[in-house]
Amino acid sequence: MGQRTRIALNVVVVLLAVVGGFYQIYVKPVLATFGYSPDRIINPTGNTNCKTVPELKACEKLVLHQPTGVIYLACSTPSSRAHWVPATNQLNETGASTEDYVATYDPATSRITRLTMPDFNNGRGFSSHGMDVVPSDADPTVLFIYLVNHRVPLGGVRAKDVGADSSIEIFKTKVGGKTLEHIKTVEDPTIIAPNDVIGSADGTSFHFTNDHGSRVGLSRYFSLLGSKSTSVVYCHIAEGCKYALPNTHASNGIASAPNGTVYVANSIYGGVIVLERQTDNTLVLTESIATDCAIDNLSVDADGQLWAAALPKALMALNHIAHPELSSPSAAYRISINTGVNAFYGEKYKVETVFADDGSLMTGLTTTAYDSKRKRLFMHGIAASQLVVCKI
């Protein structure tokens, strides 16, 4: 064997080792959480005693008002989602809806109420994504509603070149009310790619997640390789915004527990990070909860259990958003403190699949909330054709 041949073989061996290492470190974990290696089988769970509400479509986020059992939803149309979802790089502003809305659904009466929204931004309208609904600490009949608004950019520039001009909107309403009163539009350089939001009980502050570190560009895809370019930001309407937790990975849904604990979902590697709020409203990582699927939105029920909208087949979920007529499997996880024998071996949290469906009933799930008092599980999706309510 000649020297050149040996050198060539050594180069090939090194390249194969690099490629193999790259696959093991970066590609394999994503394929696993996305449900393709190994191929994830969807075992139907909890999807028999369910009701559908087709009048409510394309609701990316829903929030339960526990005292009344009524849910609040941030909705759009499946057709507009196919054109305008900045989180998934769908930036065709000509197809964007500016007439998205907040609705309520009362499962006791099946009544749907579309809340009247004023022209609060000179006709720029509302393009929905994440939302939170928080009772006032001064008057529980008053509700503060925090909304992510993915506005089309001004000035005639293409959204594909500059991204969405997103803001956080704060509204106020009354329990059982039919109108929204606009309080504040929050704009700030830290509002890059807002996904979900949790608000305060006085209508003045909130935390939100940026699901990317830039509005457009190749760098948005680096999260697939583990890049920590997302973040959690804190804003106060009188004091401005600041990073509460920078350099996170694939941050998506955010939820808070009554004790102040904050949870943030990972939409690529799966799992949830558990955060402790500091006196200056920054957040400190305390622990992580592993899941086998990518996770979208989160909620906390009245018993303190965490609920997660899971993506059993993440690529199918992305394809569904771009083509809402296609189905995508869905799953809802309940995450609680592990009291079983495995707790002795360090498994602090128990992750249970409470709902799973191949997409025939619930397709493209992005949000779920559980009414533990009335035993109702609510589910919807950013491009889904119906609300699904199951007795669990």
Confidence band, pLDDT 50/70/90 cuts, at residue 7:
low
Average pLDDT of the chain is 94
Question: Is the four-CA dihedral 114, 115, 118, 119 of positive or negative sign?
Answer: negative
Over residues 18-30, mean pLDDT: 70
Say whether the peptide bond before residue 38 is cis (omega within 30 degrees of 0).
yes
Write down the domain spans for the chain.
1-39, 44-391
Confidence band, pLDDT 50/70/90 cuts, at residue 339:
confident
- Tens digit of pLDDT for each residue in 189-215? 999 999 999 999 999 999 999 999 999
Q: Is the pLDDT of residue 39 over 80?
A: yes
Confidence band, pLDDT 50/70/90 cuts, at residue 378:
very high
**pLDDT of amino acid 284:** 98
Token couple for 298:
């989160």
The pTM (predicted TM-score) of the whole model is: 0.94
- Tens digit of pLDDT for each residue in 255-280? 999 999 999 999 999 999 999 999 99
**pLDDT of amino acid 32:** 86
The DSSP call for residue 193 is S
Residue tagged 């799992």 (tokens):
271
* Nearest C-alpha neighbor of 163 from the set 192, 189, 186: 192
Helical spans, DSSP H, in the chain: 3-22, 28-33, 78-81, 159-162, 314-322
Token couple for 294:
């990518």
Over residues 287-314, mean pLDDT: 97
Name residue 132's amino acid. Answer: D
CATH architecture of the domain formed by 44-391:
6 Propeller (2.120)
> SS3 of 290, please?
coil
* Count of residues making up the chain: 392
Q: Is the pLDDT of residue 180 over 90?
A: yes
Neighbours of 2 (CB within 10 A): 7
Task: Give CA angle at 267 (131, 225), nearest 5°.
Answer: 140
**What CA–CA distance (Å, rounded) separates 152 from 136?**
31
Pairing of strands 111-114, 84-85: unpaired
What values do phi and psi take at 326, rounded to 5? -85, 145
* Nearest C-alpha neighbor of 71 from the set 22, 18, 143, 125: 143
More confident residue, 89 or 25: 89
**What CA–CA distance (Å, rounded) separates 152 from 165?**
6
